[in-house]
Chain A
Amino acid sequence: MRRFHHQKRRGTLAAVAVTGLLALGTLSACSSSGGKEAEEQQSQAAAGGAAAGPRLKIAMITHSGAGDTFWDIVQKGARAAAAKDNVEFLYSADPEGGKQAQLVQAAIDQKVDGIIVTLAKPDALRDVVARAVRAKIPVVTINSGAEESAEFGALVHFGQDETIAGRAAGEQLNKVGAKKAICVIHEQGNVGLEARCAGAQKTFAGQMENLNVQGTNMPQVKSSVTAKLQADKSVDGVLALNADVALTTVDAAKDAGSGAKIATFDMNKQLIAALKDGRIQFAIDQQPYLQGYEAVDELWLYKRNGNILGGGQPVSTGPAIVDKNTAASIEQFADAGTR
């Protein structure tokens, strides 16, 4: 098995190296000031389509794996703000802390005007964020790292405190009348997911235990949840931590002949229908679109006007609770893939 991993890592490293070389190539080949590009940018700005001022270049580096709906929405928000603020938006991501740090370094090397970074693995990013701050590049953190953000020298943090969101979920579960619940963790060892379950456990009046499932394999998610509900018939509540797992849980409960009430974190378009017809009780939305949008906008504000949102405190983008009554009002946005 070690060989497998080794090979994979080498493959990815090679890919990173190639990307790095390409980035270098673009840098040395293009002029960073003047020329046709600057002229176009000026005329664009003068035309007044987007916000005034020279075009900024902002890089976002997250810990997302490939093909994650959540990060797709974050990017959509960021791109919307970038279009409005006349910002060139660069996105890169790697779930491994060390590699994410290399990507941040690449952004510093490109002399971007601002960096947006997630601190899912704060220790791996401490040094590189400090380097960005030393290079006088403003840094905004999003999603994870509320505690470390200010300490590392970031301007502001946008995100949802997972423990607070978890507590909200626990309270909501009490309201729907659950007495014994399971919290389905689809990525074992993920700090944010553990915090959600821990938070829910604190406010949930009944008994709650965790269940680990392999989130990249839906048949396994389904059969594990079914197994848990079969093993313990007294379970009357399930808290899923993402929308896909929640929808699979609905099927699993049906298979197990369980009437457990199902609730979830996060949002997608299929979830809206399930919320409307009551298959899922409520969803705790952390509004990923806001995290992307606000981060880009904050860097623009800072560069243009020295503004800092939140007064040194993390700015919350959630928890926003969506249930049967409110689902219809955000349906069109979920359909467009921005909620």
Chain B
Amino acid sequence: MAQIIDVDGDAAGAAAEGPSGGGAGGADERVAARSPLRQALGRPELGALIGAIALFVFFSLTADAFLRTSSFATVLYSSSTFGIMAVAVALLMIGGEFDLSAGVMVTSASLVAALVSYQLTLNLWVGVAISLVVTLGIGFLNGLLYVKTGLPSFIITLGTFFMLRGLNLGVTKATTGDVATNSVADMDGFEQAKTVFAAQPEIFGVNIYITVFWWLAFIVVATWLLLRTRVGNWIFAVGGAASSARAVGVPVTRTKIGLFMGVAFAAWFSGMHLLFAFPSVQSGEGVGNEFGYIICAVIGGCLLTGGYGSAIGAAIGAFIYGMANKGIVYAGWNPDWFYFFLGVLLLIATIVNLVVRRRAETAT
């Protein structure tokens, strides 16, 4: 967490203290130079990376079809749909907050775009733009409610989770008379928007979903934001110790609202993929996915208490989730045990992560 140091000594110290207390051992230790190896071991994503490699080797040995390039493209697609959200959710969790409304917000975003465009017979891009405004508005509302009431974000977003669930169904039913939107596949702008959000360009003879590349873009931007900008330092600071951060002049309110809006932006993006890959949207979808995002972030090294974690880690977490999810299918294991296997694999990945990090922290 060397990146914290350039903002302000106090905020950095407070943030670094968070999980283990190891970082606050004494002034001497803090200024002492660390070997590159120990620095690498101290990275939040390292444990996840080892877990991912282990899982990859495991499925390569047990499932014949797993190593084919086309199979790998499928695994990456599955990972990317979780990964895009997981990156934004990881930033929010580093900032010390949860968003339980993230899963249904994806559905809301695609419903808004589909309903607005279809009902008013507009070009789909208009719906896409309105959806962006509405979804960012929901994120803003989440953040605003949090900073105004001071209630845990857990409770606030649980409330918005239920509200969105109800709105998704209620509004769709009221406007279309049905529980799914009408197909927008034959409307103006569909093909264009599909190229942006759901294209499958052929690369080395394999069709790879464009979400994989967008996912990489999300990772790069989020990592740059976290490690190379002042905003990144603020995020670590507000998650580690919000009151100390405020005391040294970090704009806590703006940072937190911004993080909720970041999740909303990712939800909008995922929603657009949903709409253009599956042109009619079921209003009841998305429930339960919020846990998937949080799980990815946690496997990737984010702490539930905030102040620690990385965007790359969350991306690797999503990759582990995707590999476990599809690897079980490739391996042809008994489908009745699917969720059991998934749970075991995720638990093992998280434990590996934990062990690696503890080793790194205690080794002197």
* A interface with B by C-beta (< 8 Å): 1, 4, 7-8, 11, 15, 65-69, 72, 185, 188, 209-212, 214, 216-220, 222-224, 226-228, 230-232, 244, 247-248, 251, 255-257, 268, 270, 337
Contact = CB atoms under 8 A, between A and B. Distances in A.
Contacts of B173: 72
B287 A216 contact: yes
B329 interface: yes
A251 B289 CA distance: 22
Contacts of A222: 277-278
Interface in B234-254: none
Contacts of A248: 278
B165 interface: yes
A335 to B, nearest CB: 10
Interface string B172-203: 11000111100100000000000000001000
B121 interface: no
A67 B81 contact: no
Query: What are the 6 tightest A-B residue pairs by CB atom distance, in nearest-first order?
Result: A67-B284, A231-B65, A223-B78, A219-B81, A67-B283, A227-B329
A196 B280 CA distance: 26
A66 B335 contact: no
A38 to B, nearest CB: 31
A222 B166 CA distance: 26
A270 B78 contact: no
A66 B329 contact: no
Interface in B56-91: 63-65, 68, 70-71, 74-75, 77-78, 81
Nearest to A12: B162
Given A69-B178, A223-B77, A8 B158 contact: yes
Nearest to A7: B158
Contact of A231 (B168, B178, B322, B329): B329
Q: Is the interface of B mostly helix, strand, loop or mixed?
A: helix
Contacts of B274: 218-219
Instruction: Identify the interface centre among A7, A212, A227, A247: most chain B CB within 10 Å of its CB.
Output: A227
Contacts, number: 130
Nearest to A244: B282
Nearest to A247: B278
A28 to B, nearest CB: 27
A220 B71 contact: no
A224 B329 contact: yes
A211 B177 CA distance: 32
B330 A66 contact: no
B100 interface: yes
B326 interface: yes
Contacts of B213: none
Contact of A223 (B74, B287, B289): B74
7 contacts: A66-B165, A67-B285, A214-B288, A224-B329, A231-B329, A232-B332, A270-B183
A231 B330 CA distance: 5
Contacts of B229: none
Q: Is the interface of A mostly helix, strand, loop or mixed?
A: helix
A223 B212 CA distance: 13
A66 B329 CA distance: 29
B291 interface: yes
B256 interface: no
B338 interface: yes
Given A7-B154, A69-B178, A231-B332, A223 B282 contact: no
Contact of B335 (A65, A210, A217, A220): A210
Given A7-B155, A212-B335, 16 more contacts: A69-B178, A188-B335, A211-B335, A212-B336, A212-B339, A217-B285, A220-B81, A223-B77, A226-B74, A227-B78, A227-B330, A230-B65, A230-B71, A231-B65, A231-B329, A244-B282
B321 to A, nearest CB: 10
Interface in B276-313: 277-278, 280, 282-289, 291
Given A66-B169, A224-B325, A216 B285 contact: yes
Nearest to A184: B335
A216 B285 CA distance: 5
B357 interface: no
Given A65-B284, A219-B77, A231 B71 contact: yes
Contacts of A226: 74, 77
A259 to B, nearest CB: 15
Contacts of A211: 329, 335
A280 to B, nearest CB: 15
Contacts of A66: 165-166, 169, 283-284
A210 B78 CA distance: 20
B207 interface: yes
Nearest to B64: A231
Contacts of B287: 216
Nearest to B207: A255
A230 B172 contact: no
Given A223-B78, A228-B329, A69 B282 contact: yes
Nearest to A211: B335
